[in-house]
Structure 1
Amino acid sequence: MNPVAFEVFGLEIRWYGIIISMGVLAAMLLIYILAKKKDLNYDTIIDAFLITFPISIVGARLYYVAFEYQNYNSFMDVINIRNGGMAIHGGVIAALISGYIFGKYRKVNFLKYVDVIMPGVILAQGIGRWGNFMNQEAHGGPVSQQFISKFPEFIQQGMLIKGTYYHPTFLYESIWDILVCIILVYILLRKKKSKDGVVLAGYMILYSVGRFFIEGLRTDSLMFMGLRTAQIVSLLGIILGIILIVWINKANKDTI
């Protein structure tokens, strides 16, 4: 499988970047539709995106490098993302922090806006995982030919690496992310008005549950003190999501 889509003046344009871009465009379209339905200012979301998206890229890279620092020998190695090395947890954390600061500066309801944004975020993640497929990365451990034969032919070929078939964990997470996206949209648009922050909490819990189990199958996990970093962060995400729901319910009761 060739990770390079085409070349422009000798510069390789990789499928990974193309697919990530498609994910971002799909996310912004979904967010536009949801913002209209919730009567929120889409221009404000665009302004936030122009600030938080570059910060999320930096966060995703620094998060990854922090746990793989022994493999980087120079500053140029650190900033060269063309060879991979991005962690979605770092990107989401950086985006949420910068988005919260942006909301404070603009004096807008952060939770109300982030609830509209998070379904788009998880949709972009689900699409972006196909970039991992094109790079033949983020896969699980070896599997038998009988097991992989249950998947479409192109998945079988993509997961055949140096004569061995591997778990298509990118596919598991992509499917899970899209299911979570559908659930979050339902929560946001259901007839009974959802409380501000519930969609964010739902994202934290649902994405983290899926990522925890899928991460256990992967062979390229970032590690911290012998534990899989993504699983640790996923557990923290579940706990924080539950705490957020409790806080939201308490805050709403106090205002009744």
Structure 2
Amino acid sequence: MSLAYLPSPSQGVWHLGPFPIRAYALCILVGIVVAVLITQRRWVARSGRAEDVLDVAAWAVPFGIIGGRLYHVITDPQLYFAPGRNPVAALYIWQGGLGIWGAVALGAVGTWIGCRRRGISLAAFAGAVAPGLVLAQAIGRWGNYFNQELFGGPTNLPWALLIDPGNRPETTPDISLYHPTFLYESLWCVGVFFLLIWAEKRFRLTGGRLFALYIAAYTLGRAWIESLRVDDVNHILGLRLNVWTSIIVFLTAVSFLIATRRPGQPGPDAPAPAADEKPHQRKRSRPQPLAARARGGRPYLPGPRD
């Protein structure tokens, strides 16, 4: 065993009388609260109302949780419906198992319903929610740490994660140290959060384009992190299903960013406008034909000295 490693928590459930307090659920709830608070601040800064965010979240959060669970169960049915398994366990959300793609997809439906009821722009709201959403993912991943699940393959790196014997893969029961993929993804999501804040100011990304950047940046990291994991999932052509999903979603997001880039939009090296410069104050110089220049009411034609 390596001399340096990350210990796993001794328990992931505490009891308050007859009521269990699960760390996985707490991580999800804290992530939701953080996402709502950040989105409220960003939405109010865009002349929105704080109550808009709460009303939309009332639709988006339940839809997202249901979508995340459905995606997990549909893509890994053998965990619940194989011989000897308990199909009712598919309803046990508190034990872990929420697929981010189902959460985003069905959560988007809930967001659309909430935005429609409040009469606000879905694209504008998507841009406001993107940074908070990815930070919520960073927090939620720590639920996997408490459950000792979704870790990577064996490793002797100094930050390897110690896994208890009862949670180790059947193929490597004698190996105790594994890649802490929950930590990799959590740190990646924090990096994406700062990327979105920076890109929004640097390139003036708004609305759906900022949300597309979030999707592209997240899937770029999720693809390689997913490839490290050793939990039992379905494979297609030798790759884990979620790796294929990440690739497809990444290409879709990048295509959207390219397709919606306006010709006059600044590129990576274009300077940002001055802070006190108003949009209507920016002068646009258009070349005028020589025939349009007049001297004394007659068209001006260049002479030898010109």
TM-score higher than 0.5: yes
CA distance in 2, matches of 1:65, 1:47: 28
The 3 A distance-change label for structure 1 pair 192 and 68 is closer
User: What is aligned with 2:103?
Assistant: 91
Superposition pairs of residues 1-256 of structure 1, within 5 angstroms:
1-73=9-81, 76-144=88-156, 147=157, 149=158, 151=159, 158-162=161-165, 164-188=176-200, 190=201, 193-220=204-231, 222-225=233-236, 226-250=238-262
Deviation at 1:201, TM superposition (A): 0.9
Percent identity, aligned pairs only, is 28
C-alpha displacement of 1:129:
0.9
Q: Secondary structure at the match of 2:261?
A: helix
Q: Partner amino acid for 1:214?
A: I
Q: Distance in 1 between matches of 2:36 and 2:108?
A: 16
Distance 1:87 1:3 in 2: 23
Kept in 1, the 8 Å contact 2:223–2:247? The answer is yes
Could you list the runs of 5+ residues in structure 1 that have no partner in the other structure? none
Preserved contact between residue 23 and residue 143 of structure 2 (Cα < 8 Å): yes
Instruction: Please list every run of at least 4 consecutive aligned residues from structure 1 whose deviation after the TM superposition is greater than 4 angstroms.
Output: 250-253
Q: What code does the residue aligned with 1:49 have? A: A
CA offset at residue 251 of structure 1? 9.6
2:212 partner amino acid: A
| Displacement after TM superposition at 1:111 (Å) | 0.9
Which residue type is aligned with residue 176 of structure 1?
W
Q: Is the 8 A contact 1:184 1:202 kept in 2?
A: yes
DSSP-derived class of the 1:197 partner: helix
For residues 25-69 of structure 1, give each alpha carbon's deviation from its aligned partner in whole angstroms, at most 9, with x where no partner exists: 122221122122222222222111101101111111111111222
Looking at structure 2, the residues matched to 175 and 231 of structure 1 have their Cα atoms a distance apart, in angstroms, of: 19
Q: Distance in 2 between matches of 1:139 and 1:178?
A: 19
Describe the SS at the equivalent of 1:6: strand
Residues 204 and 240 in structure 1, CA contact (< 8 A), matched pair in contact too: no
Going from structure 1 to structure 2, the CA distance change for 1:111 and 1:169 (only over 3 Å counts) comes to: same
Structure 2 unaligned segments of length 5 or more: list them. Answer: 1-8, 166-174, 266-306
Structure 1 residues 247 and 44 mapped into 2: Cα distance closer, same or farther (>3 Å)?
farther
TM-score computed with the length of structure 2 as normaliser: 0.73
CA distance in 2, matches of 1:201, 1:90: 16
Give the total of aligned pairs: 243
**Using a 3 Å threshold, how does the CA distance of structure 1 residues 17 and 249 change in structure 2: closer, same or farther?**
same
Question: 1:154-194 deviations in whole A, cap 9, x for unaligned?
Answer: xx5x5233251000111111000001011112233x16643
Per the TM alignment, residue 118 of structure 1 is displaced from its structure 2 partner at its CA by 1.1
Q: Indicate if the aligned counterparts of 2:96 and 2:144 stay in contact, CA closer than 8 A.
A: no
Deviation for aligned residue 1:240? 1.3
The residue matched to 1:72 in structure 2 has which SS?
helix
Select the structure of larger CA radius of gyration.
2
